[in-house]
Amino acid sequence: MARNWLKGAQTRYDSVVIGSGLAGMTAANMLAKAGHSVLLLEQHYNFGGLATWFKRKGGHILDISLHGFPIGMIKTCRKYWSKEIADSIVRLQGVRFDNPQFTFSTTFDKIDFTNIMRERFGVLKEVIDDFFVTAREMNFYDNLSMTTRDLFEKFFPGRTDIHRLLMEPITYANGSTLDDPAVTYGIVFSNFMDKGVYTFKGGTDALVKKMKKEMLKNGVDIRNHCLVDKILVEDKKTRGVRVNGREIESDVVLSNSSLPATIHKLTGDEHFSPEFLEEARKVRMNNSSCQVYMGIKKGEKIDYTGDLLFTSVTDEFSAKKLCDKNVTSRTFSFYYPEIRPGTNQYSIVSSTNANFEDWANLTEEEYLKEKDKLIESTLTALEKYVPDIRSKVDHVEASTPKTFKRYTMHTRGSSFGTKFEGLKISKELPEQIAGLFHTGSVGIIMSGWLGAANYGVIVSNEVDRFLRKVKSERLETVSV
Ligand SMILES: Cc1cc2nc3c(=O)[nH]c(=O)nc-3n(C[C@H](O)[C@H](O)[C@H](O)COP(=O)(O)OP(=O)(O)OC[C@H]3O[C@@H](n4cnc5c(N)ncnc54)[C@H](O)[C@@H]3O)c2cc1C
């Protein structure tokens, strides 16, 4: 008989959270801390969403999206999770670039970038300072007509080398391009390329284990293997969810599922106004990714090659080429034993941005062939930096946009949610249906580990306000 993953679950909660990505878990934790009853439903066996890992024979533990995040994650974890989690965040020591326009290592902070731009690229300090100030002062309510390309041309006209330095890491981190609103660049750049890149000591498995412990301590009812297939709506209000064939009642449904799936699939178009639907249909998904995971044999070592290595063989930065199936640009993440103390093992993960259509429409035979080709070309590219990689590796496998879609159910396997216009639609959901909220990677700004966690905080505050109102209205009705 199939196992009942909802055994012991209540028939009603104040809020149901669909999905355990960093946004969903952060929101669930905050709501429980605020005194609300919370049920967190995850369809996968693991919690964490894209922030996840897998294990393979030979003692390998391979992280999927833990390459680096900005310093702000320390504050977010300390304030909204625990000191223990925040204290496990450590700075990456070296970030390298290697492409036809430049090759160097950087500590990835404002001081080093300023020096590099002055000494290597010959830019005046005043121009660099002005650029940093302009990027820092950008905010959500700014004029959206200026693109990142316009911003770069204003400060560094014709300098495609500088455009590449400033853009390539951000494109890898959130899929944005030179044609996206400059405000998205300014906000992310100021967070990301200012005080270094950080990671979690212990790996994603240790982080998610700590987060689960914290949620349980605060009273969140967490369930895996629980696929929500319907958000229940009555009279323009959420009534709960249908999960694994059972209905569970709640005043709030907070979806961490993909935005289009939340609207069109889980809720249903019939519940939204035509104007809202028209705008929602215009929301573009961000790109997806391919990765190649390489586990190094027990006992073998990799010389220090930097923590993050941005490589490219194309002449100039091109967001289009970054997604091309014929890969020309890769980010290599090197995981040394210090990152997972006690394991004494190394692994390397190569990441590339990718288009869903390039992979989704292949026959099974073509798909497997293309995956092998990706693995082979990645090993060849890595030989430049780790010449004996082929003799050191004892596990290699690849993931594609189809893999990301399968495990997270994201529309088109999107790695970074939606483009900018998705943020407005995500925020407007409760105006359409009382009690229906969305959190998770959207709008470029609210994407990545830090953006998703912070958006979880923002939306949980709105849910808290809503629930307090519902509860006080209920009390008034009872006392009358
Ligand atoms: C290859 C790759 C590399 C990345 N590298 C970085 C990086 O270096 N730094 C960085 O900051 N960010 C990185 N990111 C992005 C980052 O991982 C994501 O932005 C972030 O983890 C997304 O969190 P989220 O809260 O939006 O939810 P997600 O992680 O998308 O999780 C959503 C969850 O909802 C669940 N779900 C969906 N539908 C249902 C349903 N109907 N019922 C139940 N459960 C459901 C899914 O199973 C999933 O667990 C990377 C992403 C990828 C793919």
Question: How many beta carbons lie within 10 A of that of residue 163, not counting itself?
Answer: 21
Percentage of the residues of the chain whose pLDDT score is greater than 70: 100
Q: What is the per-residue pLDDT for 477? A: 83
440 lines ligand 1 (CB under 6 A): yes
Q: Is the CB of 347 under 6 A from ligand 1?
A: no
Q: Which amino acid is at 273?
A: S
> Tell me, what's the pLDDT at 127?
96
- Which residue has the least CA distance to atom 35 on ligand 1? 19
CATH class of 12-45+224-284+416-479: alpha beta
Q: Which atom of ligand 1 is nearest to the CA of 23?
A: 25
Determine the pLDDT at residue 139. 80
Probe residue for ligand 1, chosen from 40, 65, 263, 352 as the CB with the greatest number of ligand atoms within 8 Å:
65
Calculate how far, in angstroms, residue 400's C-alpha sits from the geometric centre of ligand 1: 15
Are 70 and 80 a contacting pair, CB within 8 Å? no
User: Angle at Cα 348 formed by Cα 454 and Cα 207, nearest 5°?
Assistant: 35
Please tell me the residue having the least CA distance from ligand 1 atom 38: 257
| Ligand 1 centroid distance, CA of 228 (Å) | 17
Residue ranges, CATH 3.50.50.60, the chain? 12-45+224-284+416-479
Q: How far apart are CA 402 and CA 182, in angstroms?
A: 30
Could you identify the atom of ligand 1 that is nearest to the CA of residue 50?
A: 29
Instruction: Assess whether pLDDT exceeds 70 at residue 340.
Output: yes
Residue with CA at minimum distance from ligand 1 atom 10:
448
d(CA 479, CA 475) in angstroms, rounded, equals: 6
Measured CA to CA, the distance from residue 394 to residue 270 in angstroms comes to 52
Q: What mean pLDDT do residues 149-173 have?
A: 95
Predicted pLDDT of residue 353: 95
The token pair that represents 77 in the structure block: 């974890």
Phi, psi of 389, rounded to the nearest 5 degrees: -55, -40
Mutate to test the pocket of ligand 1, among 50, 408, 437 (most ligand atoms within 8 A of CB): 50
Q: How many CB atoms lie within 10 A of CB 375?
A: 17
The residues near 255 (Cβ < 8 Å, ≥ 6 apart) are 17, 18, 19, 231, 262, 266, 436, 437, 438, 439, 440
pLDDT of 297 > 70? The answer is yes
| pLDDT tops 90 at residue 168 | yes
- CA nearest ligand 1 atom 49, residue: 49
- Residue with tokens 């080398």, as numbered in its chain: 161
477 residue type, one letter: T
Across residues 330-354, what is the average pLDDT? 94
Tens of pLDDT, residue by residue over 37-76, are: 999 999 999 999 999 999 999 999 999 998 999 999 999 9
Cα of 448 vs centre of ligand 1, distance in Å, is 8
What is the CA(308)–ligand 1 centre distance, in A?
21
Residue 480 structure tokens: 């009358």
Name 189's Cβ contacts closer than 8 Å, sequence gap at least 6.
135, 166, 170
Give which of 452, 465, 450, 453 is closest to 422, Cα–Cα: 452
pLDDT for position 414: 96
Nearest residue (by CA) to ligand 1, atom 2, is 65
Question: By C-alpha distance, which of 192, 258, 136, 169 is closest to 451?
Answer: 192
If we measure between CA atoms, which residue out of 125, 127, 134 comes closest to residue 189? Answer: 134
Instruction: Report helix angle 448-479 to 182-192, nearest 10.
Output: 100
- How do residues 89-107 score in pLDDT, each as one tens digit? 999 998 999 999 999 999 9
Q: 49: Cβ–Cβ under 8 A, 6 or more apart, which residues?
A: 19, 20, 21, 22, 24, 256, 408, 440
Beta bridge partner(s), residue 147 = 181
Look-up of token digits 């309510």: 141
Using pLDDT thresholds of 50, 70 and 90, give the confidence band for residue 480: low
Are the C-beta atoms of residues 206 and 77 closer than 8 Å to each other? no
CA 239 – CA 473 distance, rounded (Å): 17
Residue 173 confidence (pLDDT):
87
Closest atom of ligand 1 relative to the 333 alpha carbon: 8
Q: Has this prediction a pTM greater than 0.85?
A: yes
| 184-213 CB burial, b ≥16 within 10 A, e <16 | bbbbbbbbbbbbbbbbbebbbbbbbebbbe
In the predicted model, what is the mean pLDDT of residues 462-480? 91
Indicate the burial class of 431 (C-beta count within 10 angstroms; 0-12, 13-18, 19 or more).
Answer: exposed
pLDDT digits (tens, 9 = 90+) for 399-426: 999 999 999 999 999 999 999 999 999 9
Q: Whose CA is nearest to atom 12 of ligand 1?
A: 448
Q: Cα(247) to centroid of ligand 1, in Å?
A: 26
Give residue 249's region: left, alpha or beta (phi > 0; psi -120 to 50).
beta
The stretches of 34-147 forming alpha helices (DSSP H) are 72-80, 83-87, 110-119, 125-137
Looking at residue 1, its pLDDT comes to 66
Q: What is the mean pLDDT of residues 197-220?
A: 97
Mean pLDDT of 302-326: 94
Phi and psi at residue 19, in whole multiples of 5°? 105, 135
* Average pLDDT score, the chain: 95
DSSP 348-385: EEEEEEE-HHHHHTS-HHHHHHHHHHHHHHHHHHHHTT
331 lines ligand 1 (CB under 6 A): no
> How far, in Å, CA of 389 to CA of 28, rounded?
42
Indicate whether residue 21 lines ligand 1 (CB < 6 A). Answer: yes
Q: How far is the CA of 50 from the centre of ligand 1 (A)?
A: 3
Q: Under 8 Å CB-to-CB from 151, ≥6 apart: which residues?
A: 134, 135, 182, 185, 186
Q: Out of 3.30.1490, 3.40.50, 3.30.160, 3.30.519, which CATH number does the structure's domain 53-91+198-204+287-408 have?
A: 3.30.519
pLDDT score for 479:
74
Q: What is the mean pLDDT of residues 9-36?
A: 98
From-to residues of CATH 3.30.519 in the chain = 53-91+198-204+287-408
> Is the pLDDT higher at 452 or at 141?
452
